């Protein structure tokens, strides 16, 4: 899976598939896929992530390194 990184508030980094997009409003974020479906909605604080929506999104959060990684690969789900 080809990924990209997006810098977020308070030194956090989001790692996700290259086709996903991020929209932000202060400390609130949504991530959408290539079909404009919301993969994840979340808020960030200095040491805390609150997932507001993430129904089928697989992710890992590493608070020590302040990274959020979305594991879903749309190419595996839908084919090339």
Identify any residues that bridge with 50 across adjacent strands, giving them in sequence order.
Answer: 43
Mind listing the pLDDT tens digit for each residue in 2-28? 999 999 999 999 999 999 999 999 999
Residue 62 has pLDDT above 60, yes or no: yes
In angstroms, the CA 58 to CA 25 distance is: 23
Q: What does the pLDDT read at residue 29?
A: 98
Confidence label for 75 from pLDDT (cuts 50, 70 and 90) = confident
Confidence label for 51 from pLDDT (cuts 50, 70 and 90) = very high
Q: What is the pTM of this model?
A: 0.89
In angstroms, the CA 2 to CA 17 distance is: 6
């Amino acid at each position: 899976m080809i990924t990209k990184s997006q810098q977020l508030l308070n030194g956090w980094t989001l790692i996700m598939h290259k086709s996903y997009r991020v929209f932000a409003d202060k400390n609130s974020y949504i991530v959408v896929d290539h079909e404009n479906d919301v993969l994840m909605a979340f808020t960030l604080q200095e040491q805390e992530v609150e997932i507001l929506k993430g129904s089928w999104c697989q992710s890992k959060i590493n608070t020590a390194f302040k990274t959020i990684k979305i594991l879903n690969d749309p190419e595996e789900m839908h084919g090339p």
